[in-house]
A and B are shown apart, each in its own frame.
Chain A
């Protein structure tokens, strides 16, 4: 590995053609992330024919550039207009948009860019040292472990927003139920589609998120009235994070990088889960807990680092085992196969130029994204200063295009409108939409793994907690479920004694 370590990988990436491909990929990826209509997987699929002319290394570097560029770009619209460009940026809306409304959009965008760079760099270094070792550990996960992991995710993320845990769990359950709409992942039976052909493929994630966040936000702005949302004038130097904000972001970036990288190794929607998990962690341990949801910089720094690190981590199962766990990495795998490259344990031995070239491009790409995006922060931040009467119709049109463009279906636009109305009503009744997204994302993995685990164990429930890994996770689940209540009881009894 030493022969093809950090230095040689960077040298491969710095060849002019690879450098250029990386740049184009990062720019296209950022655009894809910003525009809600086109996800990274679709954009990568569109670009694959072009990459065939570039050769395997440069072609794959371009595809990888789109992948991680979209991770960064997705946060821009989350922060500016409360519309997540892609699923991993949903959680950034919670504090990023709140910061924008307080005139700190520039700081939030800059921290997101720096966090993405730090996490990207960390994941590259970790990939170089631990790739083969970590690749094998991903194989320890069978259906029972995946199911337990998703249950752990539900329990840990049920306190995501710090409001009522019961309400968050309700929203997660609604998300899990919505994920069952469409064709059953195991038997192929159609469920909850009510005879609608367009619903057979399930509920479009983009339609739901643009509705719950974007359209609902427009309604909320309309309800508030224009005069209440005028922003304070912001001076140039205030566009960037101040010393205090940088200081507060440093530790969340570091934690987000490690957490995101580890979650990236796991199958499933790694980047999304990593960003949610990081937000939950930061909210739990922050000294400024009361600021979460109202514009805490940690709520941007942690998740934005985590989703980028997860994008890096997800490369390990892809490159070392040939296992894609996200739609975007599946397209990347398709691109590799079209270039005549078979990912797997022998890729590192047979094509080190490709392996380390792609990995090295992560580092270069993140640096490019930082250089490209930091000067643009001021321009982006000005978007929030556009009067709502002009900005909001633009947001609505982008939401419609996003929802429609996902499957070229007007049904999805109806779903988006319905989600917008429900999202607005939910806000009025203090129900947060973010946990619903957790349920929607975890639902398919949870159902498939539960049913597979039961089939493997021939119906024995004990199959769900037989392996040491499962036992360890169930213990954490029990502790996470019981501890908050126990703490509450202890706090109450201490308070009663003090009052007495």
Chain B
């Protein structure tokens, strides 16, 4: 694993833990005889920060490799980490579609938004045509409607269309 990548992850976890500890200040610690709601998160958060600092410190103290001494090569792992491939571009698109899908569930209902979501997701994952994703989506929705809605009586948002 690239050293730079390790440092970055250690730093992010440490900041996350520190932020959480700061937020935890609003909860009372009370006494040892009657510990308050802030005690357990304080303990777990402190251990988290210490561990992240350990990972980060261990990496910072690690002797630089031969290639690492050359500044250009040293930056390469980080650059590689942030390089976005075509697949990852699709992931970003999928996340955007997912967000839209969740927002639409309340508005046009679960099954309608689900129908469009499956088609778009299938296309993003590699379907070349429209017919197969549409058929797949119709099949999944019918199955889910019969199983979860009719049989198991899970109530899904209906939206304005139903």
Please give the residue numbers on chain A whose beta carbons come within 8 Å of chain B beta carbons, in ascending order: 35, 37-38, 46, 164, 166-167, 169-170, 173-174, 176-177, 180, 184, 186-187, 189, 191-192, 218-219, 221-226, 387-390, 392-394, 396-397, 400-401, 404-405, 408, 410, 413-414, 417, 421, 424, 428-431, 443, 446-447, 450-451, 454-455, 458-461
Residues from chain A with a CB closer than 8 A to the CB of B87 are: 222-225
Q: Cα distance A450–B16 when bound, in Å? A: 24
> Smallest Cβ distance from B51 to chain A, in angstroms?
5
Residues from chain B with a CB closer than 8 A to the CB of A390 are: 122, 127, 132, 136
Residues from chain A with a CB closer than 8 A to the CB of B152 are: 37-38, 46
> Smallest Cβ distance from B156 to chain A, in angstroms?
7
Are A191 and B37 in contact (CB-based, < 8 A)?
yes
A sample of 13 inter-chain contacts (CB < 8 A) reads A170-B51, A180-B40, A180-B44, A222-B91, A226-B126, A387-B126, A390-B127, A393-B140, A394-B136, A397-B118, A451-B35, A454-B32, A461-B32
Q: Cα distance A483–B71 when bound, in Å? A: 39
B148 lies within 8 A of chain A by Cβ:
yes
B72 lies within 8 A of chain A by Cβ:
no
B108 lies within 8 A of chain A by Cβ:
no
Are B114 and A397 in contact (CB-based, < 8 A)?
yes
> Smallest Cβ distance from A217 to chain B, in angstroms?
12
* Those 9 A-B pairs whose CB atoms lie nearest each other, nearest first: A459-B33, A459-B32, A173-B48, A223-B87, A184-B37, A389-B126, A393-B121, A447-B40, A176-B44
Partner of B125, one of A170, A388, A450, A461: A388
Are B55 and A166 in contact (CB-based, < 8 A)?
yes
Are A454 and B94 in contact (CB-based, < 8 A)?
no
Q: Cα distance A170–B41 when bound, in Å? A: 14
Are B55 and A167 in contact (CB-based, < 8 A)?
yes
Are B125 and A222 in contact (CB-based, < 8 A)?
yes
Bitwise interface map of B from 1 to 41 toward A, beta carbon under 8 Å scored 1, else 0: 10001001100010011001001000100011111110111
Main secondary structure of the interface of B (DSSP, over half): helix
Known: A223-B85, A389-B125. A170 touches B140 (CB 8 A): no
Are B148 and A37 in contact (CB-based, < 8 A)?
yes
Partner of A223, one of B17, B91, B99, B132: B91
B90 lies within 8 A of chain A by Cβ:
yes
Q: Please name the residue on chain A nearest to B139 by beta carbon.
A: A394
List B106-122 residues whose CB lies under 8 Å from chain A: 106, 110, 114, 117-118, 121-122
Known: A170-B52, A393-B118, A393-B136. A222 touches B90 (CB 8 A): yes
Q: Cα distance A430–B54 when bound, in Å? A: 16
Residues from chain A with a CB closer than 8 A to the CB of B154 are: 37-38, 401, 404-405, 408
Q: Please name the residue on chain B nearest to A391 by beta carbon.
A: B125
Are A401 and B48 in contact (CB-based, < 8 A)?
no
Are B37 and A394 in contact (CB-based, < 8 A)?
no
Known: A187-B37, A222-B90. A394 touches B48 (CB 8 A): no
Q: Please name the residue on chain B nearest to A448 by beta carbon.
A: B40
Residues from chain B with a CB closer than 8 A to the CB of A189 are: 27, 37
Residues from chain B with a CB closer than 8 A to the CB of A191 are: 27, 37, 41
Q: Please name the residue on chain B nearest to A451 by beta carbon.
A: B35
Q: Cα distance A460–B31 when bound, in Å? A: 11
Please give the residue numbers on chain B whose beta carbons come within 8 Å of chain A beta carbons, in ascending order: 1, 5, 8-9, 13, 16-17, 20, 23, 27, 31-37, 39-41, 44-45, 47-48, 51-52, 54-55, 58, 81, 85-88, 90-91, 94-95, 98-99, 102, 105-106, 110, 114, 117-118, 121-122, 124-127, 132-133, 136-137, 140, 144, 147-148, 152, 154-157
**A429-B9, A431-B9 given; 12 more Cβ-contact pairs under 8 Å:** A170-B13, A173-B48, A174-B48, A222-B124, A388-B126, A393-B122, A394-B118, A396-B121, A401-B154, A408-B155, A410-B105, A429-B5
Residues from chain A with a CB closer than 8 A to the CB of B39 are: 450-451
Residues from chain B with a CB closer than 8 A to the CB of A430 are: 1, 9
Q: Cα distance A222–B91 when bound, in Å? A: 7
Are A417 and B98 in contact (CB-based, < 8 A)?
yes
Main secondary structure of the interface of A (DSSP, over half): helix
Residues from chain B with a CB closer than 8 A to the CB of A177 are: 20, 41, 44-45, 48
Q: Please name the residue on chain B nearest to A424 by beta carbon.
A: B91
Are A173 and B32 in contact (CB-based, < 8 A)?
no
Residues from chain A with a CB closer than 8 A to the CB of B127 are: 389-390
> Smallest Cβ distance from A70 to chain B, in angstroms?
14
Q: Cα distance A431–B51 when bound, in Å? A: 14
> Smallest Cβ distance from A441 to chain B, in angstroms?
14
> Smallest Cβ distance from A399 to chain B, in angstroms?
10
Q: Cα distance A275–B121 when bound, in Å? A: 34
Q: Cα distance A394–B118 when bound, in Å? A: 8
Q: Cα distance A74–B69 when bound, in Å? A: 50
> Smallest Cβ distance from A300 to chain B, in angstroms?
27
Q: Cα distance A187–B36 when bound, in Å? A: 8
Between B47, B99, B114, B126, the greatest number of chain A beta carbons within 10 A of the residue's beta carbon is seen for B126
Partner of A392, one of B40, B110, B125: B125
Q: Please name the residue on chain B nearest to A453 by beta carbon.
A: B35
Q: Please name the residue on chain B nearest to A174 by beta carbon.
A: B48
Are B51 and A173 in contact (CB-based, < 8 A)?
yes
Q: Cα distance A192–B41 when bound, in Å? A: 10
Q: Please name the residue on chain A nearest to B103 by beta carbon.
A: A410
Q: Please name the residue on chain A nearest to B147 by beta carbon.
A: A35
Q: Please name the residue on chain B nearest to A167 by beta carbon.
A: B55
Residues from chain A with a CB closer than 8 A to the CB of B47 are: 169, 173
Known: A170-B52, A187-B37, A189-B27. A401 touches B94 (CB 8 A): no
Residues from chain A with a CB closer than 8 A to the CB of B106 are: 410
Q: Cα distance A2–B138 when bound, in Å? A: 58
